[in-house]
Chain A
């Protein structure tokens, strides 16, 4: 990192690779330069640009919690050229990292409230940053529910988190799969009906949700049925990003640039967007 050129990435070292599912991996990584690490801060919900030198950059949230700065984490679903190259990474390999960018989950709004986290598939990645953040400041929040779902037991990511949250008494943990298998003894069902069955009260509560668009669509309907207003629902959006800093021109929804104005929005804000292009 020279000077203050925003496009120059930090060089980071991969410390651990976790195969989450068939096509999702989580990477623990750290600054090569300790002095840069000491200066670095971020907030839950922010993202960064990760590079595989020679292949290019891709955008992912920082999925670890700012309350646990021993190392940073990000999770990647293999989907294209850069993500395939990321999946090749081994412990000890180096990547580029610039960020953090974007806004973050509104801790001010969440403090003192009951929280309902609803995550689907890899959508738990940004939420888990906040969930660990909440757990580490548990006294600042009311009841906390986490509902996580995936298509099948093999598609559940972050099983170590799910287990830890289930065992601990900090949060009420619910896990569901769309379809079980022979070994699965847990809940079977789509996220929205399971959410309605759990039936959290909307009173003094904020729901934070992230997942595939179709899941979000029906989860919003279920939350509405449970009495949540658009102001009480927070989500984080994903759009094609490149620069991460509001200049390259692709991630806009109307005049809103997801990289700069987001990625975290309340549903009330999203309803006011000028465009349906997301």
Chain B
């Protein structure tokens, strides 16, 4: 099936149509940050200002806080009621290639050996419509991480911003089916495709930041015990954990109970390896010093995840660089290791 395109001023009509059958989420500004939220006619203008979400796409599949089950103590003892995400299908529009790739990366972990039903159920019910970046941010380094700002194999449909129009290209079967059911689109030409290709190449060339991932695992392993290096690069870190919260691949979590012993909820929430309590045990804490926690985070992403799942758990979205209050920069840290 060929590609399609739509005039940008027709997008709201398209979202309106799609909303009749399922929920449509688009980049939305609310409460001071940008995330994916339900489309309505008032938030359909994102294409003008949207660079990327503040909170990564992972939050729509692995929320900051989620209920896992309810327990209730009745006369016959405890009853447990599983709380699974709703079965409703979702279209998420405007997904950046870095975040789509990140979702695939953490999806591997959530599906590994013991299936995580909360993440997987949401993933199964979601259709991702990517939106390539023509103007990457100066913090982006996706091109070094096996990705490209304008391209993605990890979405169902990929859009390219062509000025007045959006080009829709099919990536998956799910996307193809959706595209064939979307109304108000017109067929695109070969000229459109070559224009999109040019835009992608141009976007790729705009990426300024780079890291070198060749032999990185080995290099990191060789310098694991280089305490001086890790102490230096972690000196200004405040252990605030924002890098882990805005990271599209950070997936560490805590599980706890709310309410009381009779009637309550088991809840999962994001946790962070930057917090000293994360690994604290009654008698000891293997990562009680800050430099050990900082080292853990980078080793986890760039070495352990690669060893265990064959892919580096960083997509170069640059959020940690943008949001860090003391300007810790992952690209400097990795470049520093490469130059040791």
In the assembled complex, B251 has its CB within 8 A of some CB on chain A: yes
Asked if residues A52 and B109 are in contact (CB atoms below 8 Å), the reply is: no
Q: Across the two chains, which residue of chain A brings its CB closest to B224? A: A274
B221-237 interface code vs A (CB 8 A; 1 in, 0 out): 10011000000000000
Q: Which residue of A9, A53, A253 is within 8 Å of B264 (Cβ)?
A: A53
Asked if residues B253 and A248 are in contact (CB atoms below 8 Å), the reply is: yes
In the assembled complex, B206 has its CB within 8 A of some CB on chain A: no
Which 8 pairs from chain A and chain B are nearest by CB?
A: A249-B252, A79-B282, A54-B261, A255-B304, A245-B114, A277-B286, A255-B307, A53-B71
A235-249 interface code vs B (CB 8 A; 1 in, 0 out): 000111011011111
Asked if residues B116 and A9 are in contact (CB atoms below 8 Å), the reply is: no
Closest Cβ of chain A to B230, distance in Å, is 12
Range of interface residues on chain B? 35 or more
Interface of B is mostly: mixed
Q: Which residue of A79, A249, A254, A275 is within 8 Å of B253 (Cβ)?
A: A249
Q: Which residue of B73, B224, B255 is within 8 Å of A57 (Cβ)?
A: B255
In the assembled complex, B87 has its CB within 8 A of some CB on chain A: no
Contacts of B81 in A (CB 8 A): 2
Q: Across the two chains, which residue of chain A brings its CB closest to B307? A: A255
Q: Which residue of B77, B255, B284, B296 is within 8 Å of A242 (Cβ)?
A: B255
Interface size on A, residues (CB 8 A): 48
- Which of A's residues lie within 8 Å of B, judged by CB? 1-9, 11, 13, 32, 51-57, 77, 79-80, 83, 94, 96, 212-213, 238-240, 242-243, 245-250, 252-255, 260, 274-278
Contacts of B73 in A (CB 8 A): 53, 94
Asked if residues A276 and B225 are in contact (CB atoms below 8 Å), the reply is: yes
- Which of B's residues lie within 8 Å of A, judged by CB? 68-69, 71, 73, 77-78, 80-82, 84, 109-110, 112-118, 221, 224-225, 251-257, 259-262, 264, 266, 268, 271, 273, 278-284, 286-287, 292, 296, 299-300, 303-304, 307-308
Asked if residues B261 and A9 are in contact (CB atoms below 8 Å), the reply is: no
Contacts of B283 in A (CB 8 A): 79, 212
Task: Supply 20 further A-B pairs (C-beta < 8 A) apart from A248-B253, A249-B300.
Answer: A4-B115, A4-B117, A5-B69, A5-B117, A7-B117, A7-B268, A53-B71, A54-B257, A57-B255, A79-B283, A238-B281, A246-B109, A246-B112, A247-B110, A250-B252, A252-B296, A252-B304, A254-B299, A255-B303, A255-B308
